[in-house]
Structure 1
Amino acid sequence: MTARPSRLFLPLLLAGTALLTGCAHGDYGTTTSPVTPQAAWQRADASVASTPWPAADWWGGFGSAELLTLLGDARAANPDLAAAAARLAQADARARAAGAALLPTLGASAGLSRQESDASGPGGRSGRTSSSLGLSAAYELDFWGANRAAADSAAAGVVISRLDQETVALTVTAGVANGYFQVLSLRDRVRSAEESLALAERVMAVVDARYRNGAATALEVAQQRNALVSQQAALPALRQQEVAALNSLAVLLGRAPADLSVSGTGLGGLGLPATGVGVPADLLERRPDLKAAAVQLEAAGADIVAARAALYPAATLNLSGTLTGAGLSSLVDAPGAVASLGLSLAQSLFDGGRRRAQVEVAQARRVELVETYRKAILTGFSDVETALAQARNTESQRRFQEEAVRLSRELFRLAETRYREGAVDLLTLLDAQRSLLSAQDQLTQVRLAEMQTAIALFRALGGGWSAA
């Protein structure tokens, strides 16, 4: 009786499976930071440094419900975020494709044939049906860790893509907040310009009245009319800037300009979130771009292992089995079985130094990434220190500018009163008017800079974090 095919094929399959073991995760070199972080931030106040890190709900500290809504809309519809998600999906697919090399490839075949022949005896014709069923497996033995290294490099690519997605999300979030505050500040500036224009019209009325009464000259009328027209000309430019800022914000939200409506009227009433900064060493684990740079080093180390493995012979295990019979029924009842197990080796004897050069390229690439990582860390530290210093300076500037506006307003009031009384000339009043307009406009821009500095610090720290 013919042996069952499983009794013949199974031992060979088990023997092959015992050999289908890849190397363990390789040592791809250290990813230790090439920069020793300082103990504390140089520009941080004691109150700021004592707070561990910005909270995940940090954006709520501005006190704008509309901003929170816009941030949610951007996370759902921003084109850059959607593209980053697609890149992550590509990296994940590439990692799965690279990991497939760690598994055997299996193939199957089946055949059915019929042979007919003429015969001189009774019946005149005779025929024979034959059938076959085959199964094959092949596996590249990963003695040198090339396949494992390639799979690990591709897996690192997934991590890098995910971290890049976080970086894009942080950039988009900061961009939406900056764009929103830009719109509000321009509305403040338009309103200040309109108020200043109303003052200029009021002064124009006074100058006209004095001219009719013979107390002012035609030159004074022309001077005030020139000042009035200059302020009228400044308004369209500010309104155009507001339109451009709204359109830019719409793009970040993934909307057409006509679909965006911002109800906020200005920066008044908004606050500044409290921002802790932790310690510099934490930045390496907080900023997604720095984490991605560290993972790139690990991936580069894996690429070196894969390049070195190409210098050595490749071993492939081949396993095949075939069942044959005189017909379909015989494949089940009493088939004939043949199985084979083989090992093949392949080695390139001469390639003009191509593989050795590829190793050197991979090694030089890792050296490059070490320096790139070092620069990224230094840049990250610099970003935080710059934002901390700017936050302190813009706060002081805002307080001084608020006092400058108060004094300019009082100066204009006194100059207008004295001009009505004829105690000062029109040039004094015009200077006071220009000073007030400039001080108000500068205060709005300083308030915007203060909010943008807070966002820059938040971004430099790598975003907000939950307790988890």
Structure 2
Amino acid sequence: MNMRKQRISRVCLFVAGLSLAGLAGCTPGPAYVRPSVSVPAHYKEVSPVDAKPPQGWLSAQPSDADRGEWWDVFGDPTLNALEAKVTVGNQTIKKSLADLQQAQAMVGVERSAYMPFVTADVSADVNHTSKDVVGRSLAGKTVQDYAMGVTASWEPDLFDRIGHAVDAAKAREQASEEDLASVSLSMHAELALDYADLRQLDVEAALLGQLVNDYTQAKALVQTQFDGGIASESELQQAETQLEVAKAQLIDLGEARAQREHAIAVLMGIPPADFTLAPVQQPLPLPVIPPGLPSTLLERRPDIAAAERRVAAANADVGEATSAFFPDLVLSASGGFESSKFAQWATLPSRFWAIGPALVGTLFDGGRRREELSAAEARQDAAAADYRQTVLSAFQEVEDNLASVHVLADESVAQQRAVDASSQAAQLAMTRYQDGATDYLEVVSTQSVNLAQTRAQVELSRRRFAADIRLIKALGGTWSGRDE
């Protein structure tokens, strides 16, 4: 009679479990909705005409995993080769790749909960019972117990607890993918900045080298006039001072160039002692960077995509915390062999087995689940705020660099006029000095002004390159300069 009641009880539990399984289609937890953000119709620092991409510029689609080899727009084979080495050798990128692999593994960890859990055990025990225990038939006896069994359990995901955990892990994996893209974009942009600086230093060094030659000839002219009694010793010292100052400035550029060269080596993942880059005296060409529309920035920036995926993961965490309020159905089975004699261990009469469902639910936990749900909801709100702030910061970076590109372009035109005027003044002053119409102080003064204006133009060119590279980075690095 008792056996019959046990069977009926098990059947009732099984039926209850099937009934709960029928409710599994009603998944607890909030549906995910991407946080809303305010997107302007156009950038403040660009005209609608400039927003249209020129021929040959292609924007990446949202599904693109590769942000594109945007450095091709500079048309420099050396830069292309260096950037390729960054892709495979940069240690920061490798760390981000390892983080992605960890996130991918966690998806598998969470997904494994869908499968049954099977364990096996083998034991050999010897137990001796006290003689003073009343009511035991084995009191004072030594009993051997040999057992071997297999236990299997499976928990159907009735209320999508496992599903929410898998969704959260997938979203975090996708966020890690975008983190990798963001780190890669940053490292490639940093190398491009260092390379552009190095190239501008080479251009400036070539300029100072030419000035050293010019000042050497000027000093020779003053020396000749001094020897002929035409020029004074003061004028000779002025020419000497001007020449040595130019030499000192040329030598000083070596420190900055060495630092840029070392930085490039480290970005490629090699020791600075193993890398040398020959000087190149031609400046890089300045590309035209079309910003596109602000709405496309949400698709192109990997950090924005990563922040959005973390909101999705936090939303899934809320769903998992909500599922904790519902009971779990556990289906388990076990079987094996057990005997007090080793010779009878694996015989048929020594077998045992058990099977049955269990419906498990928490009746009281002191408010733990409710607080965990509140914490998950707060984390989702924080992730949404991070997402919106990331979008706002992205818009700011684009606007800042658009302003820099436009302002520096206008400044460059004015600065070029200053260079032309100071150069002409220096030439006139030298002509006047050769004709005896003025002293050498006027030559030194005008040449110093010309040198300052020329170096200012080189520095302005460096700032324009930096603004272009930062703008490409701010736009997500998804533009390709190749013609179709």
Interval containing the TM-score (normalised by the shorter chain): 0.7 to 0.9
Q: Assess if the C-alpha contact under 8 Å between 2:423 and 2:450 holds in 1.
A: yes
Task: State the alpha-carbon separation in 1 of the partners of residues 361 and 282 from structure 2.
Answer: 71
Change (3 A) 1:319 1:194: same
Cα contact 2:106–2:169 (8 A) shared by 1: yes
2:404 to 390, 395, 418: 390
C-alpha deviation, 1:330, in angstroms: 10
Query: Displacement, 1:337?
Result: 5.6
Post-superposition offset of 1:50? 1.8
Q: Percent identity?
A: 26
Deviation at 1:465, TM superposition (A): 5.3
Residue 211 of structure 2 aligns with which residue? 196
Distance between the aligned counterparts of 1:166 and 1:185, measured in 2?
Answer: 28
In structure 2, the residue matched to 1:34 is 36
**Aligned-pair distance for 1:448?**
2.0
53-62 or 249-258: which moved more? 53-62
What's the counterpart of residue 131 of structure 2?
none
TM-score (norm 2): 0.80
Per-residue deviation, 1:281:
1.0
What number of residue pairs does the alignment pair up? 441
SS at match of 2:437: coil
Q: CA deviation at 1:34?
A: 2.8
The match for 2:386 is: 372
Structure 1 residue 87 displacement after superposition = 0.7
Aligned position for 2:111: 99
- Letter aligned with residue 454 of structure 1: D
1:167 aligns with 2:182: yes
Q: Distance in 2 between matches of 1:130 and 1:194?
A: 94
CA shift at 1:239, angstroms? 0.7
In the other structure, the counterpart of 2:249 is 234
Is the Cα contact below 8 Å between 1:163 and 1:292 reproduced in 2? yes
Match of 1:258 in 2: 273
Q: Which moved more, 1:323-332 or 1:249-258?
A: 323-332
Alignment of 1:346-425 (within 5 A): 346-347=361-362, 349-351=364-366, 353-425=367-439
Q: Does the 8 A contact of 1:20 with 1:104 survive in 2?
A: no
Structure 2: distance between partners of 1:245 and 1:264: 12
- For the structure 1 residues 138 and 20, does the alpha-carbon distance in structure 2 shift closer, same or farther, using more than 3 Å as the test? farther
**In the alignment, residue 100 of structure 1 is paired with which amino acid?**
S
Write the distance in 2 (CA, Å) between the matches of 1:406 and 1:23. 79
Unaligned runs of 5+ residues in structure 2 are 1-10, 61-67, 127-143
| Aligned pairs (5 A) from 1:105-124 | 105-109=117-121
Cα 1:28–1:198 change in 2 (3 A) is farther
2:217 partner amino acid: R
* Alpha-carbon distance, 1:349 to partner: 2.6
Flag the 1:194–1:348 CA change in 2: closer, same or farther, 3 A: farther
* 2:3 counterpart residue number: none
Deviates more, 1:447-456 or 1:54-63: 54-63
**2:475 counterpart residue number:** 461
1:82 counterpart = 2:97: no
| d(CA) in 1 for partners of 2:22, 2:248 | 78
How far 1:425 moved relative to its partner? Answer: 2.6
Gap change, CA 1:279 and 1:197, over 3 Å in 2: same
Does structure 1 retain, via aligned residues, the 8 Å contact 2:165–2:316? yes
How many angstroms does 1:158 deviate by? 0.7
The C-alpha deviation readout for 1:326-360, integer Å capped at 9, x for no partner, is: 99999798985633213052526344x44433322
Query: Equivalents in 2 of 1:21, 1:181: separation in Å?
Result: 64
Q: What letter is aligned with 1:428?
A: E
> Aligned partners of 2:299 and 2:182: how far apart in 1?
13
1:270-303 per-position Cα deviation (integer Å, ceiling 9, x unaligned): 3233433221111111111001111111111122
Deviation, 1:364, is: 1.8
* Counterparts in 2 of 1:15 and 1:186: CA distance versus 1, 3 Å: farther
What SS does structure 2 have at the residue aligned with 1:49? Answer: coil
Corresponding residue number in structure 2 for 1:430: 444
Distance in 2 of aligned mates of 1:463 and 1:159: 19
C-alpha distance in structure 2 between counterparts of 1:348 and 1:245, whole Å: 65
Residue 343 of structure 1, aligned match among 353, 358, 378 = 358
CA distance, structure 2, for counterparts of residue 247 and residue 113 of structure 1: 67
| Superposed CA offset, 1:284-327 (max 9, x none) | 11111001111111111122222334455555332223467999
Which residue of structure 2 lines up, in the alignment, with residue 69 of structure 1?
81
Matches of residues 11-26 of structure 1 in structure 2 within 5 Å? Answer: none
Confirm or deny: 8 A CA contact 2:42 2:48 kept in the other structure.
no
Letter in structure 2 aligned against 1:256: P
The answer to whether the 8 A contact 2:167-2:313 is kept is: yes
2:457 to 436, 439, 443: 443
CA contact (8 A) 1:22 1:142 kept: no
Q: Secondary structure at the match of 1:42?
A: coil
Residue equivalent to 2:46 = 44
Report SS of the residue matched to 1:203. Answer: helix
Residue in 2 aligned with 1:117? none
Structure 1: gaps spanning 5 or more residues: 1-10, 115-128
- State the one-letter code of the partner of 1:139: W
| One-letter amino acid of the structure 1 residue matched with residue 299 of structure 2 | E
Residue 362 of structure 1 and its aligned partner are, at CA, apart by 1.9
Alignment of 1:271-290 (within 5 A): 271-290=285-304
The alignment's TM-score, normalised by the length of structure 1, stands at 0.83
Paired residue for 2:64?
A: none
**In 2, Cα distance between equivalents of 1:319 and 1:90:** 33
8 Å Cα contact 1:21/1:142 also seen in 2: no
Is residue 216 from structure 1 mapped to residue 227 from structure 2 by the alignment? no
Q: Give the direction of change, closer, same or farther, for the CA distance of 1:112–1:239 in structure 2 (3 Å limit).
A: closer
CA shift, 1:27, in A, is 5.3
Looking at structure 2, the residues matched to 17 and 362 of structure 1 have their Cα atoms a distance apart, in angstroms, of 28
Counterpart in the other structure of 1:138: 153
CA gap of 1:308–1:20, structure 2 versus 1, over 3 A, is closer
